[in-house]
Structures are given as C-alpha cells and as structure tokens.
Amino acid sequence: AQSVTQPDIHITVSEGASLELRCNYSYGATPYLFWYVQSPGQGLQLLLKYFSGDTLVQGIKGFEAEFKRSQSSFNLRKPSVHWSDAAEYFCAVVGVTGGGNKLTFGTGTQLKVEL
Amino acid sequence: NAGVTQTPKFQVLKTGQSMTLQCAQDMNHNSMYWYRQDPGMGLRLIYYSASEGTTDKGEVPNGYNVSRLNKREFSLRLESAAPSQTSVYFCASSLKGEYRNEQFFGPGTRLTVL
C-alpha cells in the first residue's frame, strides 16, 4: 500500500525567505503525486501535481515541486514566501488500483510566516 | 457555480445520536468522496462513489454509511455517534475516478461528539 511521510509538523519562515517542505512517498510503481494547501477553516486546494515527464512541476501561487525517484521525494518549494502563504500543506499520492481516485495524504506541515 | 457545498458547517452531538452530513456538487462530476481529518493524521478516506449508483469503502468506513442520492449529492450518515467520530469531515468530487482528475474539496463540517 502507498504511504506519504511529511517529516516536518511545523515550519516557521520569515516573509521573503525561501521555503522547502519535505515529502517522501512509498509506492511500488510510478507514483502520481500532489500538493494541496488548506487555509484556516477552508477546504483543500490543489497547488500542483506530478504524473510523468518533467520532474520539476510548476503550480499556482508561485509554488514548484521536484520529483526525485532516487530519493522517493516530492518536495515543495517557493523562492519567496508571502504572509498569505501561512496555511497547512498536504502531500498526497494516488493509488491507481482497480478504479477510483484514492488519495493517500501525509499528516501535513503547518507553515507559519513571520513578518 | 458554488463548487462543493457541505451542510452543516458545525454540529455537536451526544453519544448515540444519529445525523447525516450532506454534500452536493454542481460541477457535473462523476466521483465523490468523504474524508475525515484528525490532528496529526492528515485526511483519511471514509467512503467514495466512483459513479452514480456505486459506493465503496475507503480506509476508515466503520461506523459510517453513505448514500449517493443522485449525481450531485453524496451523504454521510452516522447511525450511533461515538466520541471517536469527533473530527472535521470533508466531501470532495472529481470528474471521473481516475488518477489524473483533480479532487475538489468542500469547506468541511466540524463535528463534536460528547
């Protein structure tokens, strides 16, 4: 079965600083990977996704992620963080098993942005 | 175009009470999902419906039932609520039950069982 690990529960960065959120996955075949963001009191919004091809994926709000098969990682990055990026971020992998788009989520990383 | 809507937003129940969480989408999506979110555990799939007329268990189905009422609506029922079901519940939908299709999430229902 697939699994996702987000080793950092909380991260604090200063506004304008760069950001990297870590995600490691475990999956027997080619993984299909996602990053979602959850603002306080809101549902989840898709930031970006990786299915195949170019290992550097661009998303919304200036985020990007790099797929590294050798490290089983799909880390999320942003060159310069804005205060509005404070939220919880979830990495997810989909299990392509006999029908159904079954996402398996990591436990999330809470991002705090200091002004 | 409201996307995915959920009612109610908040609910407090006593142990043993029953209730139904409602979810509707107006995007003409085929597949719908129910998740629960607990601190430190991310989101876990309770049930899903790949298409109208079908439902299937997810990772944590015990204590829940679902009904795919029509293409738009997918409800989650707690027959006898327990404190362990205190959680935030999210409904989601996707165009089809395929890995390429993004899931769109509702705003959630915060449920407390006393």
- pLDDT one-digit tens code per residue, B70-99: 999 999 999 999 999 999 999 999 987 676
Dist CA B5 CA A53 (whole Å): 34
Condensed to tens digits (0 to 9), the pLDDT of residues A4-63 reads: 999 999 999 999 999 999 999 988 777 889 999 999 888 899 999 998 888 999 999 999
Min distance B52 CA to chain A CA atoms (Å)? 13
B38 to chain A, any CB pair closer than 8 A? The answer is: no
Element (H, E) at A10: strand A10-14
Whole-number Å distance between alpha carbons of B48 and B97? 9
CB proximity A102 to B under 8 Å: yes
